[in-house]
Each structure stands twice: as structure tokens, then as C-alpha cells.
Structure 1
Amino acid sequence: MDRTDSPRPDGDARDSLGILRTLREISVTDDARDLLRSALAAACQLTGASGGVLGVHDEMHHGQVALVYRYGTVTDLPEAELATLLRPQGAPAGLQADILVDGDRFGALRLTGWETSPGARERILAECVAAVAGLHLDTLRQRRISDLHQQVTAAVWEVDRTLVDEVDLSVSLPLLTARVRELAAADVVAVVSPTAAPDAASGASRVLASAGEDVEAALADLRPDVAEVSASGRAQHWTTTLPAPDNAGGRGEVLGTSLVPIDTRTGSPLVLVAHHWRALQGVSHQRMHDVLTAVALHASMILDRARGEEEHDLLTVLEDRDRIARDLHDLVIQRLFAIGLTVQGAARHAVRPEVSERLENAVAELDQTIRDIRATIFELRHRAGVGSFRADLRQLVESYTPTLGYAATLQLTGPIDSVTGDEAQTQVLMVVREALSNVARHAHASSTTVSVEATSDRLTVSVSDDGVGISANAVESGLGNVRARAREHGGAVELLALEPRGTRLSWSIPV
């Protein structure tokens, strides 16, 4: 056949170019909603359908439609028929094609309204439109995810720059909540401590940092959920769908709420609250959940570092206190004690009575100074709330071994730790310290026994030694302090001479 006799495919070529041009126009937008509308319109125009519906799968509610777009003569569609858009080949009539994004069913479009039943050509065209829409939606999603990651990286970097020198939670946490609120488009973002001492009137938890408006109202509504997350240690995520405008198809705006526990070394339960956040277009809710979980992890790192710095500072202070206490005990007290012995010996050889009296007064002043220094040493070494009362007593008695020249015996009876409060424990420790100091200075004893007994209603301290006893003309300087401590707490003091030698001091108060 001569070439001039062959048919010219100009009509088919023009038809193919028109199809390609239409498919290209679908991909020129950067807005997912515009893309879906364009895809639906193109599918109807290319296949000759008079109307069509495109439904988007609701990722948070399986089997439901989140958005619906309509074109042409289709103005309404019952809810029961909308659900068929999510089922492969579920349309009872017309033509349906699934939109796949990264291998998952994102949605489906259904075309109707032909004078004759659609054929293979119409089906292929509908599937091509759905495929092009799915590929471009995937590209947009990856772009939005990349943008989200960049925003998260920038926010974390900005927060981390505040940690270069030292952690200031009053700066770092508010900055973190502000940046999270921006990238999640949330109404409220806060870091709260549910088990902190609540306000007596409102019962509100302590807010470490927050960003947004009406924070108190939002946290008040979420208080039971925050308490549950804090107790269980498991995150909670849910969505709230606002009513759609009258002229819009499908559902209204979907708002997310996330409560994520913040794990710290201290064990204090903290919760990151992100209330009414909005996912970026093309970013799934699960992706946003992952981002908020990562932010909570970063918040825990900030809090742990702040705790570490506090512990380091405290350790430095305690080391200085121990060093000062050791120097006072090993150097100052020993020198004062030696000076006191020298002055006391000189007083015995004084000829004039007034000189002897002054020397004795000087010895008494030195004794009082030594007692004051010992009290200071005790305060430096004693850590309130650390360990147990029994351990504090053992530590105190053991600390007098170098001064006494022997180890005193400690006897503990009854539930000492459980029946005594902080104030009573402090008084007991002071009395034992005063009694041991008197034994070391005056008793010349070879053994001492300290007994502490607790009953349901009384706490008794006894300090016995085998020394020379107390002379009739002794000045009760230290013993006077012991009596005063008993009077202040409704207690009593008894001083007994033991046979054949020695003294027993008994001090008791009600508990």
C-alpha cells in the first residue's frame, strides 16, 4: 500500500496529547486539596462522566471518610455509599479507582453518569488519573515531612544553644514549649508535674512551662487524663473533629491532643501536653505522634542535665562542709582542748584567788567554745532526710571515738525511725552530743553506753559512764542546755550516781 493511502492518526495523537496535558496539569499544584479537586475534574472530563466523587480515607477512624469532593451532577451521596469508596471495587455502579500513596490506600474516586456503560478506555483513564494523583501526593507528603523535620531540627538546635554554659529551666523549657506549639500549630503546649503539691482551691498541677492561650482552662479539662498518663507511663493520643461548614463536604477540621510522659532520672512524673494541634498538610497523625514523643525525650534530657548540675553543685558544697568539719575537729578543737588543759593546770598553781578564779572562768569559756564548735561540726556533717535516724545516731556516737579514747556502746530499742519526727530526732542528737562531750571533758571514764528507746508514747535517752561522777559544786553549763531541751518539749531529765562509780543521764520526752 502506498504511504499516501495509509490512515493518518492525527485524531488519536491530539487525543493523547490532550490526555497528557490534563495529567500534567494535575501535578502543577503544591496544595493537596487543589490536587484532589483537579484530579476528580480531570477524571470526569477524560472519561466523559457527568459527575464524580472523591473520598479521602480517615486514618484515625478506620472505614470512615475524612474528606469528600464532588464534581458535576453529583450533589449528594448517602453515608452508606461513601463508605464503599474505601472498599476495593466496592462501588455498586459506575467506575471506581483507588488512589495509592506509598503503597497504602489514601482514598478512591468514583465516576458516574454515562449514556452507555464505560469501557476499558474509561477505566484505564480513571486509573491513570488516580495513579498520577497518588504519585504527586506522595511527593507532596515527603516534602511536608522534610519541612517538618527541618522545623524540629531548628527548634531543637535553638533550645540546645541555651544549654551551652549551664541549664536554666526557666529559659529552656518555655522556649521548647513555644517552638513545639509553632511546629504543631497547637492551641496549648505545656510541661506539667501532676504530683506536685496542688493548689488547695483548684487542685491544679504545677506547670513548669507553657505556651498558648487559656492554658489553665485546657489543663483543667485534661487533668484526669494527665494524671492517668503520669501513673501509667503510657502516652495517649486522640482527635476531636469540629463541625464542618455548611458548604463544605466531608468532616470539619480535625484537632489532635497528645499527652506524652517525660521520663527523668529523678522519677518525678512529668507530662508533655499538646492540646488541639494540627498536622501539616500531607503529614500523618502518626508522624506527629512520633515528633511529640521525640520532643518529650529531649525534654527529659534537659531535665536530667539540670538535675545533674544540681547534684554536682550539691556534692561540691557537701565536700566543702566535710572538709571544714574535719579541719575544725582535727585542728581547732584539739588545740582548744590542749589550751584548756594548760590553763586548768595553771589555775591549780595560782597563788592569788582572783587569778585562779579568772583561769577557771577561762577554762569554762573554752569548754563552751568547744561545745559550740562541736555543734557546728554536727550541723555540717548531718544531712537532714538522708539515711535513717538509727544511722545518724551510730554516726554521731562513732565520731566521738577519738575524743573519748574508746568506742562508746550504742543500744537502740523500739521503732525509733517510725515514731520520731524530724524535730524530736534533732533534739535527741543534740542531747547525745552534749552528754558525750561532758563525758569526754569531765568523767575520765573508760566505758560509756548510749541507750535510745522508743515506745508508742515516749522517747528516752540514757547515757551511762564509769567515770568519777559529778562533783557537788559543778557548774551545769552543758547540762543546763539538756534540761532546757526537755522542758521545751514537755519532757524530764534525771541525773543519777552509779555504784561503785559513774553517772547516768536520763532524758525523755513524749512523742
Structure 2
Amino acid sequence: MSDDSEESAGPVPSLSRLRLDTLLRELVVRAEDLLDTQSRLHRLLDAVVSMASDLSLPDTLRRIVELSAELAGARYAALGVIGPERLLVEFITVGLDTQTRVAIGDPPHGKGILGLLINEPKPIRLHDLGEHPESYGFPPNHPPMTSFLGVPIRVRGTVFGNLYLTEKRGGEDFSEEDEDVVIALAAAAAIAIENARLFEQTHRREQWLAASTEVTDRLLQGADFTETSGLIVAKAVEIGQADAGFLLLRGEGEPQDDPRLTVRAAFGDGAHHFLGASYTVPSARTALFAGDGSPFRFDGGGAHPFVPRDPAPVPDRFLGPGAIVPLAAGGRVFGVISVARVEGRATLSDADTRMLHAFAGQAALALEFSRAASDRQRLAVFEDRDRIARDLHDLIIQRLFAVGLGLQGVSTMAGRPEVTDKLNGFVDDLDDTIRDVRKTIFSLQEPVERPSGLRGEVLRVVSGSAETLGFEPRLHLVGPIDSAVPDAVRPDLLAVLGEALTNVARHARASSAEVELSVDVGSGRVTLVVTDDGVGPGADDTPGHGTVNMASRAHRYGGDCTFEPQAERGARLCWSVPLRPGS
């Protein structure tokens, strides 16, 4: 019996050792898995710390792609940023060299498997990309890719983009552990992206505030509108990371609903070609001018946001994405700032558009303040000029007139004719002086920028001729010139005056000239006489083209024009037309 017992008990130790070896092997495998998991966790923690240390958004995005490829053991990795149209607006890759990227061409827009992850933002693992029904294929020169792992990145509940990993090293498929690690990395990446975004927005906001302060400081220091408007556009382009910017303004005094705008300042390569061009705001964009105005963002695609007014050029180079914000102050919109990027660049973000709108509001207030200060200065000048004119009229002219009357009285008591003639000459000189003072009074009462009325226009033409003549002609204005001369006659009268003074400068070789414009209401005529002390026309001279034109302008209204030499020297032009043309 003992032998039988020994035989039956013999195999037991061998079976126990076999089970022990199996358990030991399983324990070793699990230990290795544990070590591998622990290593991955350490690398994941290192990755999180690495991402959190960088506040630059572009650098953060590239770092996320590199870490995901490293943690999942992928040969190729990419991060696609999703834009407003649910297409990829940015595609950051790792594993492809520059030559391969150039050979592939444009980055993907979000079709096929990439689009599936956009439309259904949840993790996806594939053994072979080409076998999936949503597969869109690869472009020419694209390296082969089979295994695939895709994981969305959510920032504050919104899908920011997707991580794409392909070609697991060793030819294996991506495992569930790979997916878990990349999901954890994506969660940490979302926090890093949000931090980088907030930092970037804060930095950009500081730039906008600094630009607003610089514009305001320039205006407060007395910089003119042209210089400051150029600075406004340049800052808008710089901080908005645009390629060109334009400042478009309404004309002075135009109504609030007028859709016409003119380019007053431009910045960017080739943007200066559009200075002075006029455009019309389409009816679909009239919200720009409603109340304080609403910003408008456009995505490009070759469509210009304004309608060019012939012959305004179309800025073909700047038909990419951009934004238009109103320049509004005190409930009134007097223009817009437009920034644009070249076609193919990313659309301006909501944050950029909001900050550009705020910058435009600050710039508008600064411009309005500058205009108000300029108006106050102009008003002070006008008041001072008006006071001087009143003093000249009430004091100086009256005294000169009294002196003239006194000299006339003295001349009647003078016994000798030569004394009488001398006194009468002094009286004539005083009359001329009074006329000159009256002309000065009138010029002081005219606006500086644009003389109003026919008197002011005549004065401007006569004063403007001094540069070509070498002297300023004497001007005599007699009668109700502003009120009596018809509007239809005025352009021709001014043209004749300009032509006559030009002829004196070209042909007369004169040292002095006189212009007299008189209105005789009794005879119903306006007469312009221009005389000089030059060489005068010869007896055999043929009237030139300018003289013929002057005569034609007189005959048009039933008037006449004569041009003849004076008795001693020089020439005399007399141009006279009725106050009622045709009478």
C-alpha cells in the first residue's frame, strides 16, 4: 500500500511548480505593465508641467502635438484647430519634414476621417484608416498611414480642435491605454490653451490701451488730423495683426444716413494707392451707422465689403478676412476703420473685433476733442479778426474820412492853385487809403479756409496772382457785388479775371496792375477793368486765344469785352455784362 501511495503522490510537486511559474510570469507581466503605466503617468505629469510653463499659444499648441506623439508612441501627430465654419483653420504637424509638407501642398480642411471627428467629437481608434467608410484618401506625395487615434480637445465645453495620431511605432495598433493617456493629455491641454488664450488676450488688450493712449496724447499735444489719422490706422493694423488698414470718413456736414465714404488715411504695402477713393456702404451694412454703430466682420473669399464708386479702385490684394468698426462719438458716426488680411489668412477673432471696436471708440472721442479744440481756436481767431475789422471801420476809416474832409475844406481857402492841387492830391490818396482799408476789413471778415461770396473769391484770385506777377495788384470793389451779381455770371467773371492777370504776368512785363470790379445797379451792369503799366499790345497784334475766350464769355450774356493799349503805356481790359443776362 505504501508503494501505491508513493506512486499516486509523485506528480503533485511538478504540477504545483508549473502553476507557480505561471503565476510568477503573470506577476512579472503585471509588474511590467504597472511600471509602464507608472512611467507613462510620470511622463504625462511632466507633459502637463511642460505645457503649463509656456504662455505663448502657438508654442503651446506645438508642444501639445509633440507630447501626444511621444506619450502614445506615434510616428506622426497633428493638431487641427476648428474655425467658425467647422473647418480646420490651423493644422500643426509633427513627424513630417519641411520637404514633405511642401510636396503635399495645402493642409487639410477637415474632410473624411478628420471631418468625422469634427462632427462627432469623441475618441476614435482605427486599425487601418483606408478601411473606414468615411476615408477621404490621401493627396499625392503623402506618406502611408494606417493605424489611427483621434481625440477632441474641449475648452470650456467647446471643441477647440482635435489631436490626430497615426502610425503606432512597432507596427501595432493604438491601445486603450494609449487612448486614455491622450484623453488625459487633451484635458490638460485644454487648460493650457485657455491660459495661453487669456494671456494673449490680456497682452493684446494692453497693446490696444497703449495705442489709444498714444493717439490721445498726440492729439492733446496739438498734432494735426492727417498725422493722427495715419497713426490710428497704423496702430489698428499692427495690433490687429492685419496686412492693411483704411480710415474712411464722411464729408463735412453730410447726413447720418449718407452711405458715401472717402479714404482719408491708409497703412500697409500698397494701401496708399486708395487714398482719396470713394466707396458706398451697401444697404446690408447700414447697421454700421445706426446709433453708435455696430462692428462688422467679414471672412474674405474675394468679396469686397464696400461698393467702389467709379473710378475708385477695388483693393484686390486685401480681399481676405477683416473687420470694419465705426468711428462714433456723441451718438454720431462720422466714419469707419477697416482692417484686412490677405486672402488665405485666418479670420479675426471675436476678441480682436471687440478690441478694435473699443479702440475706434477711443480714437473717435480723441478726434472729436481735437476737432472741438480746433473749432475753438478758429472761433477765437474769427472773433479777433471781427474786432479788428470793427475797430478799423469805426475808428480808422472815420478819422481818415474826417481828415479828408478837412483837407478839402482847406483847399478852398488856399490862394495858390498849386497848393490846391497838392491838397486835392492828398485827398485822393486818402480816398485810396480808405478803399484799401475797406478791402482789408472785408478780407478779415471772410473765413480762412474758404472765402464766401464773390468779393472773397475775387480777393483770393487777386492775392493768388502775386506769386506769378511779382507784386500784388491793387483791388477796388464798388457796389453790391455779393448780392447783385447773378450766380450764373460769377464763374465766367472769375475766369476772365484769372486769365487777364495771367496775361499780364506772361506778356506785359509790368511793375504794377490794378483791378476794379464795380456794380452799377442803375445801369444794370457789372464791369471788370484790369489795367497795367507794361508794354501793352501793338497796333498789328492779333488777339490771342485767351482774349478771344474772354470776349466769348462776355457775348454769352449779351455783354462786351475790349482790350486796348493805354494812352501812355500798358494795357486796359474792360469786361462788362448785364446783371440780367439777355436784357
More relative contact order, 1 or 2 (CA 8 Å, 6+ apart) = 1
Alignment of 1:68-87 (within 5 A): 69=93, 79-87=111-119
Partner of 1:106, secondary structure, is: strand
Contact 1:263 1:300 in 2 (8 A): yes
Q: Displacement of 1:321 after TM fit?
A: 1.6
Listed as ranges, the matches of 1:239-258 within 5 Å are: 258=322
Q: 1:509: Cα distance to partner?
A: 8.3
Within 5 Å, give how 1:46-85 maps onto structure 2: 54-59=78-83, 61-64=85-88, 66-67=90-91, 69=93, 79-85=111-117
1:430 and 1:259 mapped to 2: Cα distance? Answer: 57
Other structure's SS at 2:575 match: coil
Q: What amino acid is aligned across from residue 329 of structure 1 in structure 2?
A: H
User: Contact (CA 8 Å) 2:247, 2:337: kept in 1 or not?
Assistant: yes
Name 2:557's counterpart in structure 1.
458
Q: CA contact under 8 A between 1:336 and 1:370: conserved in structure 2? A: yes
- Indicate which of 491, 499, 505 corresponds to 2:576: 491
Structure 1 counterpart of 2:157 = 103
Distance 2:231 2:392 in 1: 47
Q: Deviations over 1:476-500 (max 9, x none)?
A: xxxx9xxx99x746315xxxxxxxx
Which residue does the alignment assign to 1:37? 65
Q: Is the 8 A contact 1:40 1:52 kept in 2?
A: no
Structure 2 residue 412 is matched with structure 1 residue 342: no
Partner of 1:317: 381
Out of 38, 42, 45, the position equivalent to 1:21 is: 42
TM-score by structure 1 length? Answer: 0.58
What residue number does 2:425 align with?
Answer: 361
3-state secondary structure, aligned to 1:108:
strand
Structure 2 distance, partners of 1:69, 1:186, is 25
**In structure 1, distance between residues paired with 2:392 and 2:402:** 14
Could you say which residue in structure 1 is the equivalent of 2:204? Answer: 148
Displacement of 1:37 = 1.0
Residues 163-210 of structure 1: per-residue CA shift (max 9 Å, x gap): 443224576556556655554555556668899xxxxxxxxx987564
Cα deviation per residue 1:386-420 (whole Å; 9 max; x = unaligned)? 6666999xxxxxxxxxxxxxxx9999789x44553
Instruction: Provide the C-alpha distance between the structure 2 equivalents of 1:270 and 1:423, rounded to a whole number of angstroms.
Output: 41
**One-letter code of the match for 1:359?**
L
Matches within 5 A, 1:216-227: 216=270, 220=273, 227=279
Q: Per-residue deviation at 1:130?
A: 1.9
Cα deviations by residue, 1:246-281 (Å, 9 ceiling, x for unpaired): xxxxxxxxx96546467488998675555559999x
Structure 1 Cα separation of the partners of residues 209 and 343 of structure 2: 19
Show the counterpart of 1:399: none
Following superposition, the deviation at residue 319 of structure 1 comes to 1.9
2 CA distance for matches of 1:163 and 1:410? 41
**Post-superposition shift, 1:22?**
3.2
Listed one character per residue, the Cα deviations across residues 282-341 of structure 1 (whole Å, up to 9, x for unaligned) are x96333334444444454445444444443333232222211110111011112222223
Equivalent residue pairs, number: 403
How far apart, CA to CA, are the structure 1 residues paired with 2:275 and 2:237?
Answer: 19
In structure 1, what is the Cα distance between the partners aligned to 2:580 and 2:240? 64
Distance 1:65 1:165 in 2: 43
Q: Deviations over 1:84-143 (max 9, x none)?
A: 221124788646432112332111235677978966x76654432221111111111111
1:458 alignment partner, SS class: coil
Counterparts of 1:79-478 in structure 2, within 5 Å, are 79-89=111-121, 94=126, 96-109=150-163, 124-168=180-224, 172=228, 182-184=238-240, 208=265, 210=267, 215-216=269-270, 220=273, 227=279, 237-238=298-299, 258=322, 260=324, 263=327, 273=339, 275-276=341-342, 285-383=349-447, 385=450, 416-417=486-487, 420-421=490-491, 424=494, 431=517, 457-458=556-557
Deviation of 1:435 after TM superposition, in Å, equals 6.4
CA–CA distance in structure 2, aligned partners of residues 145 and 422 of structure 1: 62
Relative to structure 1, the CA distance from residue 418 to residue 285 in structure 2 (aligned partners, 3 Å threshold; closer, same or farther) is: farther
State whether residues 322 and 348 of structure 2, in contact with CA within 8 Å, keep that contact through their aligned partners in structure 1. Answer: no
Query: Secondary structure, in 3 states, of the residue corresponding to 1:167?
Result: coil
Change (3 A) 1:269 1:158: closer
When structure 1 is superposed on structure 2, of 232-241 and 346-355 the one drifting more is 232-241
Structure 1 residues without counterparts, runs of 5 or longer: 1-6, 196-204, 242-254, 393-407, 437-447, 461-479, 493-505
TM-score (norm 2): 0.52
Corresponding residue of 1:496: none
For 1:122 and 1:37, the matched residues in 2 are separated by 14
**In structure 1, what is the equivalent of residue 140 of structure 2?**
none
Query: Shift of residue 378 of structure 1?
Result: 1.6
CA distance in 2, matches of 1:347, 1:224: 64
Distance 1:90 1:13, change over 3 A: closer
Cα distance between partner residues in 1 of 2:86 and 2:278: 26
**Whole-Å separation in 1 of the counterparts to 2:424 and 2:174:** 125
1:409 and 1:450 in contact (8 A); partners too:
no
Note the aligned Cα RMSD (angstroms).
5.8
Deviates more, 1:327-336 or 1:313-322: 313-322
Q: Post-superposition shift, 1:145?
A: 1.6
SS at the partner of 1:491?
strand
